[in-house]
Chains A and B, each alone.
Chain A
Amino acid sequence: AQKITQTQPGMFVQEKEAVTLDCTYDTSDQSYGLFWYKQPSSGEMIFLIYQGSYDEQNATEGRYSLNFQKARKSANLVISASQLGDSAMYFCAMSYFGNEKLTFGTGTRLTIIP
């Protein structure tokens, strides 16, 4: 069974600085996908970025990038030039190819300081 670990319960970052949110995963399967979601205080889950286990390049989506280190089973989210609107809970998640149910980590609460 897959397991997702997020070791940072909370982080405070100065506006305009870059921030890295940590995520490690445990699986013996070779075919899987890794996801990051943002959850503002309103509660909705907003998809940010996806990385497939066979993707050779790190995924990027605007200010978001995923630092994928397969051998270390690590999938850290990097947010460049943080903004006040980035303050939210961030969840790392994983699924296997062919079975799209997601397993989530416990999340990191990010607070951007003006």
Chain B
Amino acid sequence: DGGITQSPKYLFRKEGQNVTLSCEQNLNHDAMYWYRQDPGQGLRLIYYSQIVNDFQKGDIAEGYSVSREKKESFPLTVTSAQKNPTAFYLCASSMRRGNEAFFGQGTRLTVV
């Protein structure tokens, strides 16, 4: 079945550690996105990529990094520079000139 897979579902991190969230899609979509969701709030865009080896900062990119070496994969690294990383992270993909975005099931990151 085609879709987007995020792993892990739950992630715990100690302060000062970098952590990488995985996002893989087999929908053959060109564009991929990372969003952050805090309790009771909407989604805010961290990074997006419209083509392999290219990506752009979203609204809240500070403290995060990404790579897009393969069309299917768009991992997100939460660095120690991110002041408040505890949140729910959602990955999405879409056709470059299509309509809806498809979302993964999300990763809940908790800093302990």
- The tally of CB-CB contacts under 8 A between chains A and B is 62
Task: Give CA–CA (A104, B44) in the complex, Å.
Answer: 7
Partner of B90, one of A45, A52, A101: A45
Interface size band for B: 20 to 34
Tell me the smallest distance from the CB of A26 to a CB of chain B, in Å: 15
Segment 39-61 of B: residues with Cβ below 8 Å from A: 40-45, 48, 50, 58
CB distance from A95 to the nearest CB of B (A): 8
Given A50-B99, A100-B98, check contact A44 B42 (CB 8 Å): no
- Complex: how many Å from CA A50 to CA B106? 22
Most chain A beta carbons < 10 A, residue from B42, B90, B95, B105: B42
Contact with B along A98-109 (1 / 0, CB 8 A): 111111111100
Within 10-45 of A, Cβ neighbours of B (below 8 Å) are at 33, 35, 37, 42-45
Q: Which residues of A contact B (CB under 8 A)?
A: 4, 33, 35, 37, 42-47, 50, 52, 91, 93, 97-107
Q: Interface of B with A (CB < 8 Å)?
A: 31, 33, 35, 40-45, 48, 50, 58, 88, 90, 92, 94-106, 108
